[in-house]
Structure 1
Amino acid sequence: MPFSSIMRLLLAGAVLLAPFAGSVGAKAAEKAETVRTAAELSGKITLAGSTAMQPLVEEAAKRFMAKHPKVQITVQGGGSGTGLSQVAQGSVDIGNSDLYAEEKLKPEQAKDLVDHQVAVVAMAAVAHPDVGVDNLTKKQLIDIFTGKITNWKDVGGKNQKIVLVNRPASSGTRATFKKYALDGAEEASGIEEDSSGTVRKIVAETPGAIGYLALSYLDGSVKALKIDGVAPTKENVVTNRYKVWAYQHMYTKGKPTGVVAAFLDFMLNDPEVQGPSGLVVKSGYIPTTDMHVMRDHAGNVKKIVVFQVGSQTYTVGGERYSMETAPFIDQNRTFVPISFAATALGVPKNNIVWEPKAKTVTITKGNQKVVIKIDARTMSVNGVNRPLDAPAKIVKGRTMVPIAQVAEALDVEYKWVPETKSVRFW
């Protein structure tokens, strides 16, 4: 069951107390219990998998153990495939992966795993600093890794033999690079190394070498190459302009409990990890809340819509738009103008119908039909009445609705970000 689905259930249960949903209620009670028993936390946690996210998890584990001396955390590598198979078998508590479980495991194995997305990381083609090239077309990159181009002079560089450095088949970094940088092309044989750190060392020390690394491993010893003129930077990743990136997943078999749940809460919610100056940012990863797109296991990309309380601008996939009425909080609910929100989510304008006499707005999105009446405490969802914690209202000529419950009614994924007082949905 995807972690986002669990989050939606938790958010829905907190509607009476949270501005958007989810800051308190059931989830907060769970956090409060964690805080209450923080000094009592003890136990062992074993993690295995992605080496791309290993530096982040290792540092976070050190800090968590410093706070909780009775907790012992062991972080192992081995690649995403190893992490996923071991957590599915119950051999480890958490499987770290650059891949969705559905990309690597059989459906019957993946269905029991719960996804906790900690961050995003980009993967870059990296070369020895002296190859004389800083940009490759995608075709050139594919031809190099498939063995069709074997000398750097053929792509504008030095007259030097190309040395390929690959990761093993179990590597999530390899799978991501192959899927999005090489368009699925099969790599030619070359040096193969289990560790991202070893790949970096070999590429840095071997004239003519080329490999690929997560950006979190870049330290200036190798040269990150542009693809079709697009650099592997955060600014290009968050809008999907640079497409070679992956979520950093921490999978558990079923819903986590006890010390495992406490550590995951630390990874996902603690400012020391996720804050503006937290480990995620400092270690070269990208917070998931900074992304303007989301991508599923099949590679399908959706633009993320962001509304911020008090702002008369909103973004769709990173592009900025303006509106007359800013979102606001009332009765502990976040209100947004429904016409802008629905349009941003791809609802055709003729599927947003305002009836002035009845004072109702009807939104049809796919199989969902939602009817909201001004000042009413209920809304109709496919003909069935559902309660509203706060009624819709008209402000400056715009119909403002409590977006959490309306998003659920339209079958839309969403997340409230308290640090920026913004709502993200897709």
Structure 2
Amino acid sequence: MAEVTIVGVIGTGQIGSRMARRLLRAGLRVVIHDSDPVAMEGVTGVQQVDSAAAVARDCDLIIICVTDHHAVRDVVMGEEGILEAVLPKHLVIDTTTSTPATTREVAAALRERGADLVDAPVSRGVPAAENGTLSIMLGGHKASRERAWPVLEKLGTDIILTGEVGTGHIAKAMNMMVMAVNFTATMELMHVADSLGIPRETSIAHFAAGPGRSFVLDHHWPRYILPATYNSGFTLGLMWKDLRIASKIAADSGQVPLLGERVTSLYRWAATAGMAEADNTRLVEFTDQIHGLTQSARPGASSQYVLECLDQALFAAVYLGTLEALAVARAAGLESEQLLAVLNVSSGGSTVSKGMHDGYGNLELLYANVRKVTLMAIERGDPCFVMSLVPQILAMGLRELPRAASDDVIIDFMQRRMGKGDHSQGSGGESG
């Protein structure tokens, strides 16, 4: 197979523009198109064209990095789209956070012309796109994955094979849902500590050394939240969009993820309150306003006791959020091993995804600890939007499961409780 020397990039926003620059620095010729001409102005040294079809006329290999699944369909199947110029030699790499239903529809249309598509959504954000250290979730036919690999290696350091076409998008959406649960649970428990007079630096440091440790604890809090920089490069509106895609994948698979839907509602509240263009880490500021930052001079109990209770509550949220995503992924057709591999190199990673939670999964003990924290929050007037669901889910589990159930048993239980529980492949039609 001939070495790729020219690549098209359709969509030159925050991530796509940086992909184009990385490919240029790797010595490739790059052709770009964006529906907004202003978005192309900052990308120098490339050839700019006025349509997706024009990109296809110049390039055999085309990367799509647009806003959502609707935009993907337009780029490929719309007026002046890739299909108008496609030939059997073409390979499309879709890095957009999209839906598997759209991915399969678009891939089928390309295959009718002899071309192909792989889905390769990315994680780790703008800094990783700048540095070529993205994590990439790659789904599609083996030959097409192998053809895409040399180009993707110039963009990322961790490429995880997820399976058939569409599974990359399932993995990306579930990663974002887990990240959101981990982030909001940490934030809400930090607010409880706030209300008891415990400094944020103290509570976050304690959480980061505990069983609920996650990527967002290691990465977002020290870089963007505690120093109040709020500059992760990913907007709250985009996070809400990704969560809506995760919800759609769940719905198409006959599932209703309880924690996933709750965090989606919280992001919707913030986005529609005028924060869609703000950095997603400013959700902390939004909830600061809700909580009013009411603090007492000293906690009613010792700080150490309070922090130990909060530690266990955070673990419970991270644990259930991760297993819930694994249940949705299984129903949608993605194996647990592939999703765990993705989480562990992406923003949804935690002690749970890495299997470092032996001895913490006793449902009865978790329920007792989370209930203490819930009562603590109620006494302080703390509206824990997401954490309030955790004891309810644990209580449901305790009615049906052993006190020390395995992860797989809990995943099966969640899949039954969230929907059909029929292990369907989740390839339902796209509603548009």
The structure whose residues are more often strand, as a share, is 1
TM-score by length of structure 1 reads: 0.29
- Structure whose alpha-carbon radius of gyration is higher: 1
TM-score by length of structure 2 reads: 0.28
